[in-house]
Every structure is written in C-alpha cells, then in structure tokens.
Amino acid sequence: MGSNSKQVSEIPIVDLTGLQPSLPSGERWEAAKAAAAAALQSHGFFEAIYPSLSAELRGEMLGRAAPEFFSLPLESKRRSTSEEPYQGYIGQAAPIPYESLRIDAVDSPIAVQDLTRLMWPQGNPTFFNAVVAFAKPLRDLAEMVQEMILQSLGVDQKHYDALVNLTDHGLRLSHYGVPVNQETEIALFPHLDPNLLSIVCQHEIGGLEFQIAGGSWVNAEPSPTSVHVMAGLAFQAWSNMSVRAPMHRVRMLGNEKRFSAIYGTRPSHNSIVKSPEELADAGRGPLLYKPFNYTELVRFLCSKQGMGHSPEDAFNSYCKLQN
C-alpha cells in the first residue's frame, strides 16, 4: 500500500444485523440510524454489517454467475446497449482493464428474465436465479438506509414517498483485470457516483478505496458479512448536503481478476431532483442546489465540457446555487 493510503480503521462501521425496512423503529433501529446518518455526513460512506446477504448468495452471484457472463463472447455482451451513459454493457477501454454490465429494474423478475434471455437466448436459470436472490436483500438494505437518512433529516413523510416513487433500482456487475500501469495500480479512476446510493459487494479480492479528509485514501477490505454503502451526488443535492458523495477508486494490488457487484438507487429517467424546502429551515442554512433533471445531469457529467473539470467542480457548476 502506498504512503498516501490508510487502513480500514478509518471507515465507519454500522451494524444492521436483523433490521428490516418494514420495521423502521425500535432501539436498535435508532442506534443504527444515528450511526448511518453521522457516517454519511462526515465521510459519505460506511461499512454495513449485513449478514442477510449470505455467503451462499455472494458465491452464486460473484463466484459463478458474474464470471459466466463476462466469459461470454464480446458480441454477446454487446447485445445489452443503451444510448445513455453508464447503461448496459461497458467494454474495456484502454488503459483501464474494466468491463461492467448494469441490470436495470433489477427488482423486477421480468426485467431480469428479459436481460437473461438477451444474453442467453436458450435461457439460463442459474444466472436468473442468482441475480433475483442476490438483489432482494440489497434492495432491503438500500430502502433501510434511505429511510434512516430521511428520518434523521426530519422531513415530512410525503417527501420520502415521493423519493421512493421516483427511484430506480439497478445492479452493476463489474470485472477488473490487472492494471496496465503497474506503478499506479489503478483499475478504475477516482470518481463520484451521480446517483442516490451505491452498495458495493466485493468478492474475495478487494481494491475499493475511499478518499477522506486531507486527501489520503482508505482501503475497504472485502468481508463475507458486510458491504460498503456510499452516497451519490443526487442524494447530496436532495439532502442539501446533509450527506456527501465520497471520491472513490479501485486499485488492484495483485494479479488476480476481481469481481464486484454494486446495487444502486437513482432518480428515474428525466425525474427532477429538488431539495425539500424544510431543509433550509431549523438553522440548516439556505438551499444549496437548484432543481435539476437527473438524466441531463448524467449526460453533462459525461460530456466533453463536464469531463473537462474535476467531478465535484462539474457537478457544482451544473446545479449548485451561487450564494
């Protein structure tokens, strides 16, 4: 590990064992809610102890189903296409040995079945079952964290309902090879996620790193009983910066392939992200972001103009109010 990296002790830990989104109350819920809110405010991320995502589910998804997909011929993987950035299959682009597949509407078995048949016209029940089973506890986790944050902000229930009704769920499967640049060992450049929440599940081989105050990086070690939760830019804006999107990257320190899965929530296509007015009350200060179209934001961040700035500067130039 390089001199600008720190160890895992810098990562906040929140125990969500046994908690359910259908029971958003009680002593353990309140303790976890306080810890999650504090972590996302101070760091933008935390390690969630979450044994509901069992070792069996992880193994079926990341030890079997994901490698099976990425071993398909390139022409097969390219059947999943989209004109929108970060959608469908993303192939390797030098010098980054990275490829991924985003499964849209992963909370819908019909959508997962359609994607499966697109990849394997003859069908692939093993892949389909692995994705559906793996996604269920992660959807529960995403809903829990979002509700905890909204409870901690004290906003009206109608705002939570509106956010949920405009939220899409997806699962990104990723495959990392050995970096071309062995000096930097960068397998995915530092970036901010534009969405609401990302839940990262690493399988056996780590590599995820978060940037913390002062510019140093912390290594998020994989664990069979935990995942890493981080806020995205849309949630940072919606919450009026009560949660913060963290810079993160992937470094590959060995010569083994790495597979990971990211469960993500995001505003639905062309929906408007707007902070509740009450977040400017109670001494929180003025609203910091103007309402914006989420789809247009992502397009801007991926444009030549957006990519000509740092991720944070590009985001602020697009939707931050000038005070």
Q: Tens digit of pLDDT for each residue in 204-225?
A: 888 899 999 889 999 999 999 9
Contact predicate 252/267, CB 8 Å: no
Percent of the chain with pLDDT over 70: 91
Helices (H), the chain: 27-42, 55-58, 66-70, 74-77, 109-119, 125-153, 157-165, 233-238, 294-301, 311-319
Distance, CA of 118 to CA of 127 (rounded, Å): 12
Domain ranges of the chain: 10-319
- Residues β-bridged to residue 261: 173, 201
C-alpha dihedral sign at 249, 318, 148, 55? negative
pLDDT at 252: 79
| Cα–Cα distance measured from residue 156 to residue 246, given in angstroms and rounded to the nearest whole number | 27
> How many Cα atoms within 13 Å fall on the side-chain side of residue 323?
8
How far apart are the C-alpha atoms of 171 and 111, rounded to whole Å? 12
Backbone angles phi, psi at 187, to 5 degrees: -105, -20
**How many other CB atoms are there within 10 angstroms of residue 133's CB atom?**
14
pLDDT of residue 213: 87
Q: How far is CA 169 from CA 4, 109, 166, 293, in A?
A: 34, 12, 10, 18
The domain covering 10-319 belongs, at the CATH homologous superfamily level, to B-lactam Antibiotic, Isopenicillin N Synthase; Chain (2.60.120.330)
- Positive or negative, the CA dihedral 97, 168, 37, 42 is positive
Please tell me the pTM assigned to this model. Answer: 0.93
Contact 105, 170 (CB under 8 A): yes
Q: Is 202 exposed, middle or buried (0-12, 13-18, 19+ CB in 10 A)?
A: buried
Peptide bond into 286 cis (omega under 30): no
CA angle 56, 58, 64 (to 5 degrees): 90
Closest CA to 178 of 143, 205, 146, 215: 205
pLDDT in tens, 35-88: 999 999 999 999 999 999 999 999 999 999 999 999 999 999 999 988 888 889
* pLDDT tens digit at each of 323 positions of the chain: 333 434 445 899 999 999 999 999 999 999 999 999 999 999 999 999 999 999 999 999 999 999 999 999 999 999 998 888 888 999 866 566 789 999 999 999 999 999 999 999 999 999 999 999 999 999 999 999 999 999 999 888 888 788 878 899 999 999 987 766 666 677 678 899 999 999 999 988 888 999 998 899 999 999 999 999 999 999 999 999 999 999 999 887 767 788 999 999 999 999 999 998 888 865 567 899 999 999 999 999 999 998 889 989 999 999 998 65
